[in-house]
Amino acid sequence: MFGLPTQDEPIPFDELPLDDPLLFDEPAGVVIPDIEWSAIAPNLILMLGGILLLTVVSLVRGRTPSWFSAVWTISTAVFAGVTLVPLWQRVQDDGAESVMAGAIGLDGFSLFVTGVMCLSVVLGALLLEGYLRREGLAGPEWYVLLLLSASGGVTMASANDLIVMFIGLEILSVAVYVMAAMHSKRVSSQEAGLKYFVLGAFSSAFLLYGIAMVYGATGTTNLVGIQQFLSETVLTQNGLLLAGFAFMLVGFGFKVGAVPFHNWTPDVYQGAPSPVVAYMASGVKVAGFAGMIRVFVVTFGPTYGADWRPMVYALAMLSLVVGSFGAIVQTDVKRMLAYSSISHGGFILVAVAANSEAGTAAALFYLLVYTFMIAGSFGIVTIMGRTGDGLHALSDYRGLSKARPGLALLFTVFLLAQAGVPFTGGFLAKFYVINSSVSQGQYVLALIAMSAAVVAAFLYLRIVVAMYFDGNTYRGESATLAGPKVRIPAAAGVALGIAVVGTLWLGILPGQMTSVAGDAVAQLVAIGP
Amino acid sequence: MRVEMFTFLVTATIVLAGSLGVVLLRNPVHNALSLIGTLFGVAVLFIAQEAYFLAAIQVIVYAGAIVVLFLFVIMLLGVDKSESLRREPILGQRPAAIVAGVAILGLTLTALLSSAARVTGEQSVLAPLDPAVPDINRLGRVLFTEYIFAFEVTAVLLTIAVVGAVVLIRRAGDPIDLGEFPDGTMGDVLAARAAERNPTIDDAADEEAGLDETADDAAATDDAAATDDAAGGER
Amino acid sequence: MTVDPTLLLAADGPVTFPILPALILTPLLGALAIFFVPARRDDAFKQIALLTSVVTGVLSIYLLTAFETGEAGFQFVVDQSWISEFGISFHLGVDGISLFLVVLTGVMFPIAIMGAKITHDIKSYYGWLLVLMAGSMGVFLALDLVVFFLFFEVVLVPMYFLIGLWGHGDRIYAATKFFLYTMLGGAFMLVAIVALAILNQRGVGGDLTFDLVQIAQNQAISTEAGRWIFVGFAIAFAVKVPVFPLHTWLPDAHTEAPTAGSVVLAAVMLKLGTYGFVRFGLYLLPEAAHWAAPVMLTLGVIGIIYGAICATMQKDLKRLVAYSSIAHLGFVILGVFSITTQGIEGGILIMVNHGIATGALFLLVGWIYERRHTRQISELSGLQKVAPVFAGVFTLVMLASIGVPGLNGFPGEFLALLGAFQTARWWAVVAVIGVILAALYLLWAYQRTFHGPVTPGNEHFRELRWSEGLVIAPLLALIVFLGVYPAVMLDRMGPSVDALVEHVDEQVDDFERVEITYVGASDIPEPGHDDDSDGPASDEHGEEGE
């Protein structure tokens, strides 16, 4: 009854499947898998970059200048990004592949997500550089963890095996738990780290439980195998599989901050160091969604889409509503952005719920745009937090347009882009999602999504009001910005520049990127000959 | 009842009792010891599935090394005070947790019982283990063929864990509260809420309202004052 | 803020100069120039803004002269693929319906820029105004659903800042309300647009396209879907117009906006909604528009009466003008949804003439505010004695707004009522009351403000300056000219409107086309002819005017 082995006597030798190499003791019978280094080059570069950085700074302790680690990290991420180009070409020409003994899928989807992860590492490192000096926390560990975490995200996005995906998720998350708690001078940072860790561990357990159930239902953890099994077999009893879906969805839902698994988001975003939040909101979310899409849309989508879609539909709806309305009552900018990121998560879930290639492309495009927007927004929050990273109340932004007009304008661009104003990437991202949703006949969800975007727009306007309108009276006298002087470190300036250029570029000339996102299809192919 | 079933029931009881002990007991040493019970039960389950190597590893690594390490830490740091569980940071947290827990348990049981006998991906569960090949060999092979990537990439996870542990232990200075929680740290908030729930009798509002009224009325105003306080605290 | 340079090379047809992109890009370049000029150089911004907006205005007038009269189709068409993945392209074109709205935009912006003064944040003020101009131009020129939506939404941002930063009183509330209302409407429209494109693709096969002309010609979607989609569009446009009961943002936004903002809002922005009804209601979804016509007519008539009654009760001069806008735009709705050639022509005439007259009224009210720092009717009195020229100008503009024959307000209202009378008789009958009420509230307000004794505070009311006179002179000229000779407009819009009604007739089964035959004129009503046939109506005005 509980699935214990019931085989009491061994199968006679002549009935054994002799072609199974595992049955032979001789090394000759072991098929050593073909390790194709080039196929996992971006991941490998991120990984080795992190570990080498750790080694180098350990060996030359005390002599590395503070910018060294940042430059190292950025060049590593850029290098990893560059290696994507030939791989992308290869995938577009020869089709997707399964490498590393079928554990890693090399397809457009994973490469696209890898690119976004590299981008968020670059932006995160740029923001960290000035931040760490300001806070007196300089140390290479931040960058080491950043790079390793990103490699986990890449692993997750390209995993063709649930176990690999789980390990990727853990690499991604554990590093971020630590980073969230690493501002050792702030109580709230440690509180955030602990909360994130406890809840994250919970969600991992759920995910693992779900994986176990799916394994029980399908007999394999390999996504290709699962997809094959489900398309070839009609399950008369699919309770285990469906329970597996539910648990895995809970696990992913935690990671992407979908309602009702979102409770950690505002607290953690508020407490964690701002540049880390920038990475958390972009990189971690991107990887979480990548994993979700890979498992649900690509693996289960063709056969069991009808079963999980209602669940994702509900998650999307709740996230949109709770995220938008929850944001309105906040008075802390970081919490506001946290809620708005929940709402954005809802938007991406709308694309996931479409369960189509168009939906995947829409989610990818959204994630790319979102990375620019949110990294930019939290970049400004980083700068505005000033020493101590504590000035995040809405009132601390009052009069920013006078004190720092450029910064206020940039923040306005990011906020309006998040609201989905045309000629910013945010609009096209939303358009893309609505398109994919409507083409699946989900009109109601599309309407809810757009209405939630309007509610969320109120939040963004509140910040704009604080920056522009609260500070000056009708006659033009203006209240001055309270608190210490706002300093923009050069590196953070570069990050903001990249983010704003990206946001506008994807809004004005998106043609190229939409077609890339359209080509970034996820494919599960069995390991080649 | 078959012997497998019997074994399973006994070990499952041990596992559950152990995990309950981890959660419910107050003394950290007892928690750690209960954990051993759980891990031991899991090891027995492995044996029942003829995964002897895993069972051995389970006992040696988890029960033998990790829990002992826990105990060392507990003893060395002298963390033998019991943590008070009476505080309830979020109102209605406990009933909500119970409801959620029961719901999850129900969902799991429904799923499992509805298809328990029909674990659909049976091929691997029921595949015969060739007694000629020790499972340590099989594990080794699988790790270095099918799961080579997962195996290797776990190294990164361990690296992160080490780096993280070192970083978090090394203190750059005393934590300072920079005022990002206007009401103080979480501990202060909890203390304030606890105080709210037990309003002191010499409350000014009480005295004013309750002087010349009957006992019933005084009780009513007492309640009102308490809610007022709560509202004030919210603001 | 860059646009593909190839856009400029893609002109089609006899005119090689890509005039339509130029209409959008010129103000945008001006805004960019302002962005890059350092903030110290306060004097430069107004000059740049004026220069680029005047150039745009001249271009729009050139467009008017180059426009092929008698052609029904789109002219000066530019089609440049933007996002090929979705079949979205910068498809721009102008026909008789949008032509005058483009010209109106081109004319009103320079006047708004010249006519209003601001004291702080000069740089961003002119920058936003130019962005607004580019956006408004884009809305009227776009022939692609998504591009239309882009411009339709993007104008919110400059308007939001104009109201919020340079407005009066409760400006933040007004700005936020304006933004959210319109954006909510836009949310429905976006879903409708996407649904329309996808259903159109399913209907006819081929690639996804958002091209207005193609979808309108295909008419490939089912009746029911078409009606739902129309509802989506209608909510967005009804907010923008605004149609009762979605109008509540308008009085706030109008009243709190700075003068230039009010002028632009009244003259141009409100027309985005009514234009949308013509282009995306009747043309794109004729069946649904015909189906919804009774509801829309009713809402239009409610708007006329409601706006007029509210205007009567206002104590604030600017708020009064704002409510009068609701009434005027009710006439547009009435005319357009009568679905007759005369009604639609009348609607378009009102759009343009309301823009001119109400724009001028807002300028005048703004100048009164500059002089007196109050807009309360009760605090103003006897201005006619102190500033006779000012009062004279105000009288003329007010009479135009009332719709006195011979001034530009009249032909539009008359044609709209005439059209409505053919197909929606009782609605038209009720709407006529609105004409009377318009005379009532405006004349009453005029009487209280300009007549009577000169109360303290009003003795030193400054007479109209030369500079102000120069600003408003073109509007006065237009008011008289278009009142006397509306054929300039009717000739050009006639074929397009005819084609539109023809299109509705072809696509809708139970639609009966109502033709009005004129004695002695076969196609277009001559302006003199209008006056002849309008004995009773003009009498009404005359009576109320006493």
- Tell if the CB–CB gap between A5 and B50 is shorter than 8 Å: yes
Q: Which domain holds residue B17?
A: 1-82
Q: Does some domain include residue A452?
A: yes
Predicted model pTM: 0.84
Q: Does some domain include residue A340?
A: yes
Q: At which of B48, B82, B116 does a domain end?
A: B82
Tokens 């400029």 found at:
C8
Q: Is B107 on the interface with A (CB under 8 A)?
A: yes
- Tell if the CB–CB gap between A32 and B149 is shorter than 8 Å: no
Q: Does some domain include residue A193?
A: yes
Q: Does some domain include residue B167?
A: yes
Q: Residue A99: in which H helix or E strand, if any?
A: strand A97-99
Q: Does some domain include residue A147?
A: yes
Q: Does some domain include residue B216?
A: yes
Total structural domains within chain A: 1
Give CA–CA dist B76/B67, Å, rounded: 14
Return the closest-CA partner of residue A144 out of A125, A157, A164: A125
Q: Is C1 on the interface with A (CB under 8 A)?
A: yes
Amino acid (1-letter code) at residue A136: G
The sign of the dihedral angle between the CA atoms of C101, C102, C104, C108 is positive
Q: How many CB pairs below 8 Å do chains A and C form together?
A: 103
Return the closest-CA partner of residue B199 out of B164, B234, B224: B224
Amino acid (1-letter code) at residue C89: S
Q: Do B13 and B70 reside in the same domain of the chain?
A: yes
Neighbour count for residue A405 (Cβ, 10 Å): 16
Mutation target vs C (from A418, A443, A501, A506; most C CBs, 10 A cutoff): A443
Alpha helices in C315-408 (DSSP H): 317-337, 341-372, 383-386, 388-402
Q: Do B144 and B211 reside in the same domain of the chain?
A: no
Q: Do B61 and B27 reside in the same domain of the chain?
A: yes
Give CA–CA dist A424/C54, Å, rounded: 28
**Across the interface, which of A152, A178, A236 has its CB nearest the CB of B164?**
A178
Q: Does some domain include residue A246?
A: yes
Return the closest-CA partner of residue A524 out of A127, A231, A89, A209: A231
Q: Return the pLDDT at A24.
A: 47
Q: Is B163 on the interface with A (CB under 8 A)?
A: yes
Q: Does some domain include residue B66?
A: yes
Q: Return the pLDDT at C5.
A: 44
Q: Does some domain include residue A419?
A: yes
Total structural domains within chain B: 3
Give CA–CA dist B35/B12, Å, rounded: 14
Tokens 């309105």 found at:
A328
Task: State which residue of chain C sits closest to A500, comparing Cα positions.
Answer: C1
Query: Under a CB-based contact definition with an 8 Å cutoff, are residues A181 and B164 in contact?
Result: no
Q: Does some domain include residue B90?
A: no
In chain A, which residues have their Cβ closer than 8 Å to the Cβ of B171?
Answer: 184
Which chains, if any, share at least 3 CB pairs under 8 A with chain A?
Answer: B, C
Q: Which tens digits make up the pLDDT trace of C150-169?
A: 888 888 888 888 888 887 77
Contacts of C486 (CB under 8 A, 6+ apart): C349, C408, C411, C412, C527, C530
Which 3 state secondary structure label does DSSP give C532?
helix
Percent of chain A with pLDDT over 90: 35
Q: Is B234 on the interface with A (CB under 8 A)?
A: no
A residues 110-149 lying closer than 8 A (beta carbon) to B:
136-137, 139, 141, 144-145, 148-149
Q: Is C184 on the interface with A (CB under 8 A)?
A: yes
The yes-or-no verdict on residue A239 having pLDDT over 50 is yes
- Tell if the CB–CB gap between A178 and B110 is shorter than 8 Å: no
Q: Which domain holds residue A505?
A: 34-519
Q: Which tens digits make up the pLDDT trace of C526-535?
A: 554 444 444 3
pLDDT by residue for chain C (546 residues), tens only, comes to 444 444 444 444 444 678 888 888 888 888 888 888 877 777 788 888 888 888 888 888 888 888 888 777 888 888 888 887 788 888 888 888 888 888 888 888 888 888 777 777 778 888 888 889 899 998 988 888 888 988 888 888 888 888 888 877 788 888 888 888 888 888 888 889 888 888 888 888 778 888 888 888 888 888 888 888 888 898 888 888 888 888 888 888 888 888 888 888 888 888 888 898 888 888 888 888 888 888 888 998 898 888 888 888 888 888 888 888 888 888 888 888 888 888 888 888 888 888 888 888 888 888 888 888 888 888 887 778 888 888 888 888 888 888 888 888 888 888 888 888 888 788 888 888 888 888 888 888 888 888 878 777 777 777 878 888 888 888 888 888 888 888 888 888 888 888 888 888 888 877 777 766 655 445 555 554 444 444 344 333 433 333
Q: Do B59 and B136 reside in the same domain of the chain?
A: no
B residues 5-64 lying closer than 8 A (beta carbon) to A:
5, 8, 48-50
Distance from CA of A257 to the nearest CA of C (A): 24
Q: What is the ipTM of this complex?
A: 0.83
Q: Does some domain include residue B98?
A: no
The yes-or-no verdict on residue A79 having pLDDT over 90 is yes
Q: Do B220 and B164 reside in the same domain of the chain?
A: no
We report the CATH number of the domain holding residue B25 as 1.20.120.1200
Q: Does some domain include residue A525?
A: no
Task: State which residue of chain A sits closest to B118, comparing Cα positions.
Answer: A237
Q: Does some domain include residue A53?
A: yes
Query: Under a CB-based contact definition with an 8 Å cutoff, are residues A43 and A50 in contact?
Result: no
